[in-house]
Amino acid sequence: MKSLSLGLLLALIPAPIPAEEGSGRSPVEPTTLPAPDQEVAPSQPAIEKLADGTMKIGKITFDPKTRRISFPAKINQTEGLLEFLLVHENGKIHESLLATDISATKLNVAFKLLKYQASRELYLKVEEDGSLSSEFEEASEEEKAKSRVRILIEREVDGEISSVEVREWINHATTEKGMPDDPWVYGGSFVHDGRFVAESSGDLIAIFLSNAALINYSGKDNELDEVWLPHPSRIPPEGTSVTVVIEPYKS
């Protein structure tokens, strides 16, 4: 297997790589250094190139040809209001359909290596006092076009892999209709005080607009936090293991 250099990886992300997902620890400086003649175990490559041509970083697999990204997650809730589609398992799990232990930083690396462009159009501007404005940030037409994605869920059913668009698992509380087929938008989150906010907050994919999230839903009523519910009969039981698949949006 081939690997990309750490230098290239660091050039693709806005903040230092945190500790491995799920560890709950931050990187620290070593207290001692090896002696000149002491053997040092080689570090694992940050990004691996697999035999089938796909790439892997941590638990995230991505394909340079199809630009598909996939990673493991679990059903987090099957009832109650949803503000997020996906959060880190140490994040806002009381309002998210799915939870995962992957790193937001590594997911952001996958997006950049696949040449998605972050669009800031769904992030509210920040005022000088730190409060959020009522106006959204600007994005070029190229950024908008290259930021749109579709999100699917894959899981094993009766020995076969079943695939469904995640919007089919979400209902509108008022209209009682399913979530419209509008794209999700990769925005890239942001860095604050040297921290990658999607990593520190655990906000990965938001239904109710979030400046911290890596991805936001672009459809109607995404500014409301009391309208989205899990579809009661379509979602498998809480704790079910699934694979989240992100791919380019095609209308």
pLDDT in tens, 63-84: 999 999 999 999 999 999 999 9
Neighbours of 149 (CB within 10 A): 21
Neighbours of 231 (CB within 10 A): 15
Place of tokens 């920040």: 126
| CA atoms of 70 and 88, how far apart (whole Å) | 15
- Residue 186's DSSP bridge partners are 215
Beta strands in 50-194 (DSSP E): 55-57, 60-62, 69-75, 84-88, 96-100, 124-126, 132-136, 148-157, 160-165, 170-172, 184-186, 191-192
Tokens at 230, concatenated:
């899990």
Residue 12 has pLDDT above 60, yes or no: no
pLDDT in tens, 188-222: 999 988 999 999 999 999 999 999 999 999 999 99
Place of tokens 């925005």: 187
3-state secondary structure of 52: coil
Residue 128 has pLDDT above 80, yes or no: no
109-113-118 Cα angle (round to 5): 70
Q: Are the C-beta atoms of residues 130 and 142 closer than 8 Å to each other? A: no
